[in-house]
Amino acid sequence: MPLYARYAWGVLAFNLLVILWGGFVRASGSGAGCGSHWPLCNGEVVPRAPAVATVIEFGHRVSSGVSLLLIAGLVVGAWRRYPRRHRVRLGAALSGAFILGEALIGAGLVLLEHVATDTSLARGYWVSGHLVNTFLLVASLALTAWWASGGPPPRLRGRGALAALLGAALAALLVLGVSGAITALGDTLFPVTTLAEGEALTFSDSAHLFVRLRIWHPTLAVGVGVWLGVAVFSALRARPTPAVRRLVGGLAALYAAQLGLGILNVWLLAPLAIQMVHLLLSDLIWIAFVLLAATVLAAAPRPVGAAPLRRPLPR
């Protein structure tokens, strides 16, 4: 595997850790650890004698800054190693755009004080936008790494129906991710001590919208799972290769584990450790389906003995 491809996969893995740390910031209620200051933390570059919440939030900011530098390296490397209009350049450029979006959304959450115990509906919109941008960042990083590893470009001609089906499934996963983010926010802001209390709160007419949406996330998860099954079956029929079969098997195992973990999360009243694993599985499912779509829609390999390209593209 080329050095640039290994670097790209490493950047993707690091960003998954940053995402998990961000989830820990939210779940632990540490979002206001640096006050309403950004990019400074409580008005300081490096906070002195910080509280635990400040350490957690400042650590997330530092890791996000490192992620920004790593993706900058990804972009520079793509421009130096690959020719104009190469797909790796596209993936790296999109990664750069979305990491800047992450920084701007993070700054907005802090400066507008949509953190810690804020229960405003505006926070729900910001969290939803953050989730969508994060998923698009992860998709861009995954595609950059896959293309740098030799993945061929997509070919949509003659695959309109299949491309639409896979695109709809990706959109459904985004909607499911947003509902999960709002549900997790509700669990953090309105914790309960028993299942009976949680059920009464969820179906109460006076309950906050974040709480009332709890019932829709598991229902949506089942519905999206059925839709993914249809998309996966169509993908297998269109391209029954070993790579596609491996991705389908991995995706099925991840989604089954996610459903089981979701049930356990509700039963145990959303403990922090299970929330983190639940978040990780969400990202892995998203990556698996993005790579599945890219593999199914990839241009067919050139036949053995075909004339070589005039200008071989770097791999």
CA distance 189 to 201: 13
Question: How high is the pLDDT of residue 309?
Answer: 42
pLDDT in tens, 241-294: 999 999 999 999 999 999 999 999 999 999 999 999 999 999 999 999 999 999
Question: How high is the pLDDT of residue 307?
Answer: 41
Question: How high is the pLDDT of residue 32?
Answer: 83
Which token pair is 7? 């670097």
Return the amino acid letter for 64.
S
Q: What share of the chain is helix, strand, coil (3-state, %, to 5)?
A: 70, 0, 25
pTM of the predicted model as reported, rounded to 2 decimal places? 0.91
pLDDT higher than 80, residue 46: yes
Which token pair is 60? 């997330």
Half-sphere exposure for 315 (CA within 13 Å, toward CB)? 6
How deeply is 62 buried, as exposed, middle or buried, from its count of CB atoms within 10 A (0-12, 13-18, 19+)? middle
The region, left, alpha or beta by phi > 0 then psi within -120 to 50, assigned to residue 154 is: beta
Phi (first) and psi of residue 41, to 5 degrees = -115, 110
Question: How high is the pLDDT of residue 303?
Answer: 46
**What CA dihedral angle connects 247, 250, 252 and 258, to 10 degrees?**
-130
Given pLDDT bands bounded at 50, 70 and 90, which one contains residue 195?
confident
Q: What percent of the chain has pLDDT over 70?
A: 94
pLDDT higher than 90, residue 33: no
pLDDT in tens, 101-146: 999 999 999 999 999 889 999 999 999 999 999 999 999 999 999 9
Strands (E), the chain: none
CA distance 252 to 254: 6
Question: How high is the pLDDT of residue 305?
Answer: 43
Q: Are 169 and 289 in contact (CB under 8 A)?
A: yes
pLDDT higher than 60, residue 312: no
CA angle 112/113/118 to nearest 5° reads 130
pLDDT in tens, 72-105: 999 999 999 999 989 999 999 999 999 999 999 9
The length of the chain in residues reads 315
Report in angstroms the alpha-carbon separations of 14 from 63, 141, 156. 9, 11, 31
Question: How high is the pLDDT of residue 74?
Answer: 98
Instruction: For the chain, give the mean pLDDT.
Output: 90
CA-atom Rg of the chain in angstroms: 21
CA distance 275 to 188: 10
